[in-house]
Structure 1
Amino acid sequence: MAVADSVPGVSGGTIAFLLGFYEKFINSAHNFLMGTNEERKAAFPFLFKLGIGWVAGFSVCVLILSTLFHTYIYEISSVFIGLTLIAVPIVIIEEKEYIKGKYLNLIFTAIGIAVVPLLMMLSPATGGSGVDLTQVSIGLAIYLFIAAIIAVSALVLPGISGSTLLLIMGLYIPLISAVSAVMHLDFAYVPMLIAFGLGMIAGLAISVKVIRHCFACYRPQTIYLCIGLLIGSLYAIALGSTTLAEPMPAMSWQTFNVGLCILGAAILAALQLLKKRTEKNVNMKRE
């Protein structure tokens, strides 16, 4: 999830959806932020383990992989395309009970497919680096707070990534640079990063409440929409290279790596098989 969230293109929510723990993530986040004390205690172990993995992955991306994304963006994107291509039939099979025969909801799939390219079209030619996050001001803090609410909403939704939206707002490069600086013990960026962090908490509370309600009350429509977002994310992945700090050409047949695409599909297929076996073992223990 952290690797996906760090790179413009696919969302960390997409990865959670592909690996089958998306709803558990949404419900746990909702219960931890707005539930009873008992619900918070029950949700904490899962969120703690997920959080440790996310922080570790994000730290690696900031410290090591940020340069590799520029050098091997097409290879990484090819893996994500493989993941996404096999994800669509997996989601359909997993959710067939809720979507079978409800084909009028394909309108939500069309909306999901259209949303990602429309948002990508708003992306500037470069990542933008003109915002100085060492300059503490009320106006910048409010802008960062609002931007974080918008970005984290995309982070938890399958489809376009929060990184892409931060690129649109000219904050992706400044924030990545600020996090990297703080990790190297330069604390001049801390006040504005705190403002952004508070916005992320607020955005997470709002978005998980809405998404949880949609899955509970409008599950077929939500699943059709998520399928559309997954399909639309292929466009975002292919154009992810154009939204880097130093833009590169969009992925073409020449830069697309078939072998790595197959590897991505194989990784998800293996994880899906592992998930099935784990569920089977859990059910056997309960019996």
Structure 2
Amino acid sequence: MAMGAADVVPGVSGGTIALIVGVYERLLRALGSCTPDKLLWLARGRFGETWRAIDGTFLVALIGGILTSIAAFANLLGYLLHTHGELTWSFFFGLILVSVYIVGREVRRWNLWTLLLTALGAAFAYVITVAAPMQWSSAPLFIFLAGSIAICAMILPGISGSFVLVLLGLYATILGAVRSADLFTLAVFAAGCAVGLLSFARLVSWLLEHARSATMAVATGLLIGSLNKVWPWKQTISWRENSKGVMEPMLQDNVMPATYEALTGEPSWWIAGLLLMMLAVALVLTLEWIGQRISRG
């Protein structure tokens, strides 16, 4: 459910949550085992063997929690971001900030090479966060392609699949489909997610097995670069009209709380924001502690 809540928010990665609570590599192994030959197993009646091979109980529990969370929190998170944006983003900033520490610890040896990879990952994530959003068509083919791209980001620590949808101009479309239970749009999007997930998970598993420190160094950099997106206090540089005719920010610059108050005339709530950042840090460290106990037990 924590992964689902994270995936709803542009800037926060469900893959980061999976890594923090200790299920990330198990998830990749389970997804990587969902190969075409398993369909032949099913056709031959090898149901129990197939279920064990794909870690079916784990996948069903995890995916069920993600879907439940998305359905339950889509409206709530939309409301919080609209009415209490600075405080909500402060909490998310704390989540990602402490995740830099958590993921960085996975690098077995820091050297010039891993530092370079971290810098490259940070630069890549930063460029993504400052990119101007596009506007893809909401035709089924583009919904399918968006799903396959976004899901790859969702399972990478540091890259938000929701933010990829924002860049493609389809975030409001998919979130609206969740809210209105548009089953056709959701089915097309889910099909794209399935194709992207099953192909990309095996690549990430291979990288973790053969180049773990390098992969985690890049993931650490991605988290550092994504902090730019979730900084709570922003100045809107330009606006755009979305598909519903509502004006929304397109390009924004990060500013300090005092500058935010001077520019907008609104309170920055920086003390409450700082407390929420600290709460997020405590929450992540608690989740990690629980995850470690579960993995040991």
Please give the TM-score of this superposition, normalised by the length of structure 1. 0.81
Match of 1:106 among 87, 96, 115: 115
SS for the counterpart of 2:34 is helix
Say which structure is richer in strand.
2
Amino acid at match of 2:179: S
Say whether residues 1:274 and 2:283 are aligned partners.
no
Q: Distance in 2 between matches of 1:252 and 1:174?
A: 29
Q: Distance in 2 between matches of 1:11 and 1:150?
A: 14
Q: Distance in 1 between matches of 2:188 and 2:11?
A: 25
SS for the counterpart of 1:247 is strand
Q: Distance in 2 between matches of 1:47 and 1:250?
A: 40
Contact 1:108 1:224 in 2 (8 A): yes
Equivalent residue number for residue 117 of structure 1 = 126
Please show how residues 16-165 of structure 1 align to structure 2 within 5 Å: 16-33=18-35, 36=38, 38=49, 40-42=51-53, 43-93=55-105, 95-96=106-107, 99-124=108-133, 140-165=139-164
Equivalent residue number for residue 179 of structure 2 = 180
- For structure 2, list consecutive stretches of 5 or more residues without a partner in the other structure: 42-48, 258-267
Contact 1:84 1:230 in 2 (8 A): yes
- For structure 1, list consecutive stretches of 5 or more residues without a partner in the other structure: 134-139, 183-188, 283-287
Contact 2:157 2:223 in 1 (8 A): yes
Contact 2:13 2:155 in 1 (8 A): yes
1:46: Cα distance to partner? 1.1
1:122: Cα distance to partner? 2.1
Say which structure is richer in helix.
1
CA distance 1:33–1:176, change in 2 (3 Å) = farther
Contact 2:22 2:292 in 1 (8 A): no
More deviation, 147-156/242-251: 242-251
1:27: Cα distance to partner? 1.2
Contact 1:9 1:239 in 2 (8 A): no
1:211: Cα distance to partner? 0.6
Task: Give % identity.
Answer: 31
Q: CA RMSD in A?
A: 2.8
Say whether residues 1:221 and 2:214 are aligned partners.
yes
Match of 1:194 among 183, 187, 200: 187
Say whether residues 1:261 and 2:295 are aligned partners.
no
Please give the TM-score of this superposition, normalised by the length of structure 2. 0.78
Equivalent residue number for residue 167 of structure 2 = 168
Q: Distance in 2 between matches of 1:74 and 1:40?
A: 45
Q: Distance in 2 between matches of 1:269 and 1:33?
A: 35
1:86: Cα distance to partner? 2.1
CA distance 1:275–1:200, change in 2 (3 Å) = closer
Equivalent residue number for residue 8 of structure 2 = 6
Q: Distance in 1 between matches of 2:190 and 2:289?
A: 36
CA distance 1:19–1:228, change in 2 (3 Å) = same
Q: Distance in 2 between matches of 1:264 and 1:191?
A: 36
Q: How many residues align?
A: 262
